[in-house]
């Protein structure tokens, strides 16, 4: 019988890597909460029309990459429905905003999500068919300030705070404006016309996109195409006065709060719903495909989906690529991410119950504890503990009788005797000192 394996383009996440994933997600949740965001959880599949109408039928996502199937009718009177595994989550969040009538609260909705998305694309480093995103959306009626450039700047400042909190140094914020709902079509038409005489010299993907989605030509990473792309019209030349003023206000707010950025006139988003501010955070540790996260404004998406006017701005972090970046950095590459605080080693079967009782007490004090099973000799216990924890407690007959437990910290090599009723406080202090260092 053939060995069963994960489907190509998917993979299992195992310890100790999942410890790093959990740290990333905990940090994101903590930062988002400080900015007033609450969590939303949407279904992993939606009506296919949600993405066709919101993301755009001519985008690569909808035309080539979605996992779509026909959901058979349950009865003769019912029509079958086309369903799609979500390839992104902004459309789903806006659908939920409309369906649950959140506009009627009159409040600005600040929502974040963490979860899997699905795209049928060629698997490569950091890119999978099932991938994970951490994202957030700010959406609401104009009366709640949803159109304000200050919201754009606040989201960008929050992302800078998150990357700093994760210890990711050396990021770059790329910033641009793709204009209003009237600016963008004028630019797309000019871009399409400029591509007609040069498209044949571009790569196959660009030749196709020149017809179906000209904005995506600007995303091309093929080195040979860059000289031609540099000659194409810039969207900054097609912005109306309101869009220019909005973009200037965003930059002014970022300057005021000290968030560095680089205006990249070629930065666009290929999805149909984007307007005005668009951005990416990049990092050199990821090579040519260097984007950690991206997002922008989508002031007309709610109306596209049949809802009320509700300007918004959001982003999605490629969690797979974020973790890759952390793993590549010295500050996050240490192997102690998954180490437990202490290994309790009963030296003999008679000490097992006492060891379980001690482990229970330490866990209730917030310590992460592994419990030996009493079958190891001292040398073997040390070998096992060194692989699993930062320190070891030896629990033998002598320790039980004297009430003095032997504790060894592996990093320093220090070994000492601690009174049984003081062991928890001692380990908690040691843990805090370790975190500060």
Q: Kindly write down the DSSP assignment for every residue of 171-228, as one continuous string.
A: -EEEEEE---TTHHHHHHHHHHHHHTTTGGGS-HHHHHHHHH-GGGGGG---GGGHHH
pLDDT of residue 364 exceeding 50, the answer is: yes
Greater confidence, 435 or 201? 201
198-218 pLDDT, tens digit each: 888 888 888 888 888 888 888
Mean pLDDT of the chain: 87
The alpha-carbon radius of gyration of the chain (Å, integer) is 27
Residue 76's pLDDT is 60
The CATH class for the domain spanning 339-436 reads: alpha beta
283-308 pLDDT, tens digit each: 875 555 578 899 999 998 999 899 99
Report the C-alpha gap between 55 and 47 in whole angstroms. Answer: 13
Half-sphere exposure of 44 (CA within 13 A, CB side): 11
Report the C-alpha gap between 426 and 382 in whole angstroms. Answer: 20
Closest CA relative to residue 232, chosen from 197, 256, 260: 197
Closest CA relative to residue 90, chosen from 139, 147, 143, 129: 139
Residue 58's pLDDT is 62
pLDDT > 90: what percent of the chain?
A: 41
Burial code (b: 16+ CB inside 10 Å, e: under 16) for 120-142 equals eeeeeebebbbbbbbbbbbbbbe
323-354 pLDDT, tens digit each: 988 887 754 444 455 688 999 999 888 888 98
Report the C-alpha gap between 148 and 146 in whole angstroms. Answer: 6
CA of 93: how far to CAs of 83, 135, 320, in Å? 17, 10, 21
Pairing of strands 415-419, 262-263: unpaired
Half-sphere exposure of 54 (CA within 13 A, CB side): 24
Report the C-alpha gap between 231 and 223 in whole angstroms. Answer: 14
In the chain, where are the structural domains located? 17-70+80-180+239-328, 339-436
pLDDT (average), residues 69-78: 72
For residue 237, what is the DSSP state? Answer: G
| CATH 3.30.930.10 matches 17-70+80-180+239-328 | yes
CB 348 within 8 A of CB 397: yes
CA 135: distance to chain centroid? 6
pLDDT > 70: what percent of the chain?
A: 91
Report the C-alpha gap between 356 and 340 in whole angstroms. Answer: 16
């Amino acid at each position: 019988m053939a060995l069963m394996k994960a489907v190509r383009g998917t993979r299992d996440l195992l310890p100790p890597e999942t410890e790093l994933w959990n740290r990333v997600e905990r940090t994101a949740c903590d930062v988002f909460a400080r900015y007033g965001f609450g969590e939303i959880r949407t279904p992993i599949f939606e009506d296919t029309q949600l993405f066709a109408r919101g993301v755009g039928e001519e985008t690569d996502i909808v035309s080539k990459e979605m996992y779509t199937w026909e959901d058979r009718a349950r009865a003769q009177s019912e029509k079958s429905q086309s369903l799609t595994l979500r390839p992104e989550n902004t459309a789903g969040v806006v659908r939920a905003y409309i369906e649950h009538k959140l506009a009627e609260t009159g409040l600005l909705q600040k929502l974040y999500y963490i979860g899997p998305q699905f795209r049928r694309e060629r698997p490569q480093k950091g890119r999978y068919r099932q991938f994970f995103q951490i994202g957030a959306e700010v959406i609401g009626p104009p009366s709640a300030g949803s159109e304000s450039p200050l919201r754009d700047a606040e989201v960008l400042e929050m992302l800078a705070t998150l990357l700093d909190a994760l210890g990711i140094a050396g990021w770059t914020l790329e910033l641009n404006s793709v204009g209003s709902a009237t600016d963008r079509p004028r630019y797309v038409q000019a871009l399409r016309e400029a591509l007609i005489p040069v498209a044949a010299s571009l790569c196959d993907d660009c030749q196709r996109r020149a017809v179906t989605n000209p904005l995506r030509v600007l995303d091309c990473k093929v080195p040979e195409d860059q000289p031609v792309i540099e000659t194409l019209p810039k969207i900054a030349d097609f912005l109306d006065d309101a869009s220019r003023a909005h973009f200037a206000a965003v930059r002014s707010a970022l300057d005021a709060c000290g968030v560095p950025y680089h205006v990249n006139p070629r930065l666009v988003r290929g999805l149909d719903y984007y307007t005005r501010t668009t951005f990416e955070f990049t990092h050199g540790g990821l090579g040519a495909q260097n984007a950690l996260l991206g997002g922008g404004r989508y002031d007309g998406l709610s109306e596209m989906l049949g809802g009320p006017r509700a300007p918004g701005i959001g982003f999605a972090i490629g969690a797979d690529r974020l973790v890759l970046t952390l793993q590549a950095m010295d500050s996050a590459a240490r192997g102690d991410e998954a180490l437990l605080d202490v290994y309790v080693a009963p030296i003999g079967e008679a000490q097992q119950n006492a060891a379980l009782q001690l482990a229970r007490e330490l866990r209730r004090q917030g310590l992460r504890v592994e419990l030996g099973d009493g079958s190891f000799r001292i040398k073997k216990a040390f070998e096992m503990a060194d692989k699993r924890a930062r320190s070891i407690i030896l629990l033998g007959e002598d320790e039980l009788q004297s009430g003095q437990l032997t504790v060894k910290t592996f990093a320093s090599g220090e070994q000492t005797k601690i009174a049984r009723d003081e062991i928890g406080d001692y380990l908690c202090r040691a843990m805090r000192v370790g975190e500060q260092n």
